[in-house]
Each structure stands twice: as structure tokens, then as C-alpha cells.
A and B are shown apart, each in its own frame.
Chain A
């Protein structure tokens, strides 16, 4: 009954997504794998060989790097998950999305900015040590490696601080789909303590809703580079950082073990996610056994309060870290053990050298976010003609699960062949892989929640497809569209590896500069870049709240806080 336009649009959108999202990853991984098995014609290596793997095995510290990756990635994920679960269980019925809104700023801050701030707070000459010095009368910074420590504790802390708000917000949104209060009442009436009801009844319903985001957190923790450079052990570093170093080594032959290492990195993530799936099966059985025994359990109260306190403490630490960025960027003289700078100066802000990085960052963010929005809107609009395609929706998550280091090298090789490497186009393409999924995830729920009858009324009044989209759907969805754009800006600003690899180091953004500067000695300059990097997402979120509020200032039904 509908004209043929439907199937064509559907095919076009799926084609774009397949080409745009899946192909770069598959092609990139393939190219990396070829190099990993000795095929590197550019350097005269032809014919398959296991030489790269021998070189990888012989790299000093390879085993330690692998161990550090597993411990920090898996450890940080489990700790963040445990704290988030404990926090939600302690709030029991009250963990609604509204109560979690205070976490949004911490979610918006890029990983690198948070890591720099944490380094400022945790370092031997950082704020925490200065408090101890004040109390204990030290006049020298303590001789401990509280950042870049050999166990990766600082890195784990950074990952937990950054992933915790994400997990909490995802859980809050999942919990809004579960009738928590009523099930809580039923469980308590049968003699179970609130925390026990939460673990036995609510959690099994929540897990399927947050499984994919937890996978994303796990994959990210195992393969993070920027945070690991700033906070993690430096010699040997985690595997992802080691692989980046080898790829960028002066000796180009190091590309061979680097490619093999990138494959190991990918395998680590795949195995970790598989292990999580295995643990899920085992825990489900154990949980059922526990549930069927019917034991009322002891009160979990104290443990849950520890988790609640832990979350509040970590977020206070995060706030302190962000504040320290600004304070350092404005400090003139701030010697140990002073708690506050002795002199202030805006001189570094007046210097112009950050402006180019700012411009690059803004242009990249603007272009990728607009492209991502257009793609997402086409995708969702095409849904009018077809049933939702769950397999395609699952594929959107793929770029968030595959380690960036696994395919970015190979993707760059392809771009080099195509002659687009090292330019804006390549970086935009790379960033889009990560911006589009988040924009799509943010926009799809409010898009589908819009009352379809409003559009039917529009059609019955004679409005065709374009007019319905432009005059009805988009203005009505202005607020969620702006929110999705702000999330896209935050994701784009935070990108480190895609900018570094695909920009061939020529496109310096606030993020690449902040990571590079973090290894230097001048905290004040680093503070300027990291402050700006943190400020951009804040500004985007601010605009995303203000613009719709102003635009719809006389429209009561659109002023509500549904997005």
C-alpha cells in the first residue's frame, strides 16, 4: 500500500551503517592481522610468518603488561559494578533516574581530563599529600609512587571514578522499567531484608538491561590508553599503551610485534566478555539455588552503607580532581606543602597556543555530531517503513566493544592506500564510529516514545513525509535531539586514539595535547588544556538544556524534563 520508497530507504540506511560502522572495523582488524602474521609489504615483509609473535614474546615486560591489563581492566570493572550495585540496593526503591541527575557532570567529563585532575590530587605533591603535610608537618613530598604505581592502583581508581557514574545512570534507567517499590514490599512482607530482596529479586531483572553497557565498560577498561598514560604504570605499561608505543616507535620494524600485540589486546577483550558470560551462567545457577533455599539472610545494611559511602567519597574525589584542574591552571606559585596557591595568574590563559587545539576540537566535534545526528535521524525515520531490526541495533554497539587499538592501525593503512590518511576526513570518520552509537542510543528511546498518533494527524491533514519530519517530529523532539548532540560532543571531545592514529599526529586537539602535556612537568599548562577539555562537554550540556527551554518557553507540554 505504501509506495516503494520504504524498502529503498531501509536498504540505504542499513547499507550506510554496514559500510560506515562495520566495514572500518572488519577491514581494520584484517589489516592489523595481516601485519600480525608477517604481511607488511611496505617494509618488504611478504609471506606469512610467526616472527611478529616471537618478537612480541621477547619484548621486555610483555607478560607484565598483559597481567597489568587484566588486573586493572577486570578489577576496575568489578569494583565499579559492586559499588554501583551496592549503592542502588542501599537506595532500594529510591534509585530513580531523577535522583541520579547529580552524576551527569561526572559522566560528561572526558577520561583524560578526569585522569589529569586525579593525578593532580593523588600525586606525592598533590592535594591529598598536602593535607597530610599540613597535619603531620611534612616539608617534603613523600617518596611514594602514588601515581604511575607499579600495580596500576591509580589507574584502577581513575577507571572506577569515571565508570561509576555511567553504570549508576544506566542502572537508574534500567530500574525505571522494573516495579521496584511493589516487589520490594512483597519481598519484605515475606521477611527478607531490603538489601536481600534487591539482590535476589531486583538484580536478576536489572542485569539483562545493563549487560551490554557493562560489556562496554569492561572492554573500555581493558583497552584504555589515555587514562593509562596519565595514571597507569609506565615501565612496563598496560598492554594497550605498550602497543601504541611500539606502533609509534622510531624503529618501523616494531610495527610487527605491535600488530601482534593489538591482536592479543582484541583477544583479551573477547575472552573477558566470554568469561563474563560464563560467570553469568554459573551465578544464575548459584543464585537460583540460594533463592530456593529460602534463607532470609542476615542484614546487608552495613555492607550497602559502605558501598554508598564509597560512591559518595569517589564522587567527592572526582569533584576535587576537576577543581584542581582549574586551580592549577590559574596558579602562579604553589609550592609544597601549601594547601592553596600563593599567587594567581591568568597569563597561561592569555597565551594563544591553546586556541588552535580548541579550534580543531570544536570543528571535529561539530562535524561528527551533525553527521551522527543526520544518520541517526535517517535510521529512526526509516523505522516507519519496517519492523525494527534487532541485529542491526546490536551491531551499533560493535565499535564500543572492539578495542580501538585493534583496528585503528589497520584502518589507517587502508586510509593511506586511499590517500585520505592524516587529514580531517580520516579523523572525522574515525570519531564517527564512536560518536554515532552514543547519539543513536540517546535518541532512539525518546524518538520511539513520541505519540505516533500526532504524526497520523499530520498525515491526515495532508502533510507529506518531509513536512511531518521537519515541521512536527524534529521540533517536538528538540530537547532529546539537543541532549543527544551534547552527548555526541562529549564523546567526540574525549577521543584520543582515533585522533592520534588517523590524524597522523598532525591534528592536535585539546585531548591529545592534554595527554602529551601530562607527562611534562608544568602542571599549570596541563591544567589549562584539561580544564578546557572538561569545559567543552559542560558547555554542550548547558546549551542542550538552555536552547530547548528558551525555544519552548511558552509551551508547557514540552518544558517538562523528559530528556
Chain B
């Protein structure tokens, strides 16, 4: 499940944010984009995922598994995102947060429930289906956010400084949890960070922006 970016350039009005970018991430690999804050790393991810705000324009192409998604809205691209905050939906219980991402093609109440329970178990959150996400610990929230993204069966994953708000001990644990899952599922992953340790652990190509 590869992710490919060809000559991608983002402009805000007349100002180009960065030089046209070419990038290819193979299935199961984790590529890293590094650079100082304010250089447009998050905007790059927005452009790839289809989340650019009004006022930005984008040139170039984004391909997922060879499929050109440049003209598609975010919901049709099958590119998952994770931010530095878990961003679990505050009005849904933990299990419903995960169920939100589950493809509609999986039918039947029991089958869907079982899929969510299995994902919860993989994240060490057994029996917490009905919990208010606000009552979880930082690590639990982060793991739940990853499982939610994976349940949607993305063909590529974008990580926007996903570990920067976790404390040091948890950070290493989350790194191996996230990287382990994306490698096992063969998802092409692009991570933005300014922490060299993240880049080292990812073990993929590093692009400086």
C-alpha cells in the first residue's frame, strides 16, 4: 500500500510554502518529514490528506496505491490521520468512537461490535467500550486514536507529531505500538516531527522541509 507524492506544492495566496516535493513511501514503511516549526509541515499533510483550508491552493499529484486521489475530497481518499492530540470525539463513548471509523461494508450489529471489541483488546482497552473518552489516560487515548484510524482500513496514514504531547516513558512505548501496527498491516505512513528520536525509530526515509 504505497503513498506517492509528485511535485506537490502548496501556495497561500501568492506565497509558495515549500519547494515542489516528490516523495514515495512503500507499503509498511514509515517516512519522516522534519523541519523547524512554521515551515509548513502540517500544511503538507493537509494537502496530502485533502484537508487544506480555504485560501490555500495546491499543485501536483497525490497517489495512493497508484490511484490518483488529488481531485477527491478527504473522505474518499482513504488516508488516515493522527494528530498530537488523540481527538477522540467527546460526545461518543470509546467504543462508538472506534465504530465511527469502521467501514459501512461490515454489516450486522454483532459483527461490528466484535470488530470494535477486538480492536479495543489489541490496544489494551478491554471492557472499556462504554467509557467516556475524557476519563482515559493519555496513553489509552493515543492507542484508541490509532485503533480508530486503523479500523477505517486506510491505504496510507499521516502522523502529525503524534508523540510530542506524551511524556518520555510513554513516547517510546507508543512509537513501537504505532510502528508495529502499521508495519504489520503494510500501511505506507508519513510522519511529521521535529524530534530526531522519532525519525530514528521510524527507520524510513527522512525528508527535510
Contacts and interface: CB of A to CB of B under 8 A. Distances in A.
B100 A555 contact: no
25 contacts: A1-B50, A384-B54, A387-B54, A451-B87, A452-B53, A453-B85, A456-B46, A456-B49, A456-B74, A457-B87, A457-B89, A459-B75, A460-B74, A460-B80, A460-B152, A461-B80, A462-B76, A464-B75, A472-B89, A476-B89, A555-B90, A555-B91, A557-B90, A557-B132, A558-B91
Contacts of A327: none
A491 B135 CA distance: 39
B81 A457 contact: yes
Interface of B: 46, 49-55, 57-58, 70-71, 73-81, 83, 85, 87, 89-91, 93, 100-101, 103, 132-135, 148-149, 152, 154, 158
A292 interface: no
Contacts of B93: 554
A1 B58 contact: yes
Given A1-B70, A454-B89, A557-B134, 13 more contacts: A453-B83, A454-B87, A456-B81, A459-B50, A460-B74, A460-B75, A460-B81, A461-B101, A461-B149, A462-B76, A471-B100, A472-B89, A552-B91
A468 to B, nearest CB: 8
Nearest to A559: B134
B87 A453 contact: yes
A462 B78 CA distance: 7
Contacts of B154: 460
A284 to B, nearest CB: 33
A293 interface: no
Contacts of A471: 100
Contacts of A465: 73, 75
B73 A459 contact: yes
A461 B77 CA distance: 10
B132 to A, nearest CB: 5
A386 interface: yes
A462 B152 contact: yes
B134 A458 contact: no
A561 to B, nearest CB: 15
B90 A463 contact: no
B149 to A, nearest CB: 7
A386 B89 contact: no
* Residue among B75, B103, B135 with most chain A CB within 10 A: B75
Contacts of B77: 460
A556 B80 contact: no
B204 to A, nearest CB: 21
A475 B50 contact: no
A494 to B, nearest CB: 32
Contact of A558 (B54, B90, B152): B90
A35 B63 CA distance: 66
B78 A475 contact: no
A177 interface: no
Contact of B51 (A386, A459, A464): A459
Contacts of B70: 1
B141 to A, nearest CB: 11
Nearest to B158: A460
Interface string A379-414: 000001111000000000000000000000000000
B73 A555 contact: no
A521 interface: no
Contacts of B132: 554-557
B73 A3 contact: yes
A468 B73 CA distance: 13
B122 to A, nearest CB: 18
Given A459-B50, A552-B91, A558-B91, A1 B81 contact: no
Interface string A76-100: 0000000000000000000000000
Nearest to A383: B54
Contacts of B74: 456, 459-460
Contacts of A472: 89
Nearest to B131: A554
Given A2-B73, A460-B49, A556 B135 contact: yes
Contact of A463 (B71, B81, B100, B134): B100
A464 B77 CA distance: 11
B134 A461 contact: no
Interface string A450-491: 011110111111111100100110011010000000000000
A203 to B, nearest CB: 34
A114 B149 CA distance: 55
A476 B91 contact: yes
A462 B75 contact: yes
A461 B50 contact: no
Given A1-B52, A456-B74, A456-B81, A462 B87 contact: no
Given A476-B90, A555-B91, A556-B134, A456 B75 contact: no
A456 B55 contact: no
A220 to B, nearest CB: 35
Contact of B79 (A2, A460, A468): A460
Nearest to B82: A457
A386 B71 CA distance: 18
B167 to A, nearest CB: 21
Contact of B100 (A453, A461, A478, A557): A461
Contacts of A457: 81, 83, 87, 89
Contacts of B57: 1
Contacts of A454: 87, 89
* Residue among B52, B79, B89, B132 with most chain A CB within 10 A: B89
Contacts of B152: 460-462
